[in-house]
Amino acid sequence: MSNRIVWVDIPVGDLDRAIAFYSAVVGDRVTKEGGPGFSFGLLPHDGGEVGGCLYLPQEADNAPSKIGPLVYLNVDGRLDDAIQAVLSGNGRLLQAKHSIGPHGWRAVVLDSEGNRVALHSQTP
């Protein structure tokens, strides 16, 4: 396996709002999935790519936070559009787009649910 991170669960307070927010930010459809008694928003990914979901945490689970681990979302080639989607979707820009040296560019944002996430692109 080449990916060190294989999955990420992003806690949310309002699943439908978060699905709309992340669909706009990543520029692809986040699908609502689930089974009896549970549902989640599946972030788009293919085959062996790292995947993740948006979910409603239980009482003893984690919660949306701007001070926990920093998850990087791939928005390659559309960083400015993703930042605009954050701002249009009631998110906040915490750190403007900036170079991270040979690793590309990033912006750190607060999502519609209160989570701090990084948007990453190889190109500005």
Could you state, in order of their start, the residue ranges of all structural domains in the chain? 7-57+64-121
- Per CATH, the number for 7-57+64-121 is 3.10.180.10
Asked if residues 103 and 95 have their Cβ atoms less than 8 Å apart, the reply is no
The CA distance from 98 to 90, in Å, is 21
Name the pLDDT band for 2 (thresholds 50, 70, 90). Answer: low
pLDDT tens, residue by residue, 31-78 = 999 988 899 999 999 888 899 999 999 888 889 999 988 999 999 999
- CA distances to 13, 35, 73, 93 from 104, in Å: 31, 38, 13, 18
Chain mean pLDDT for the chain: 93
Q: Is the pLDDT of residue 1 over 60?
A: no
Positive or negative torsion for Cα 66, 12, 16, 71? positive
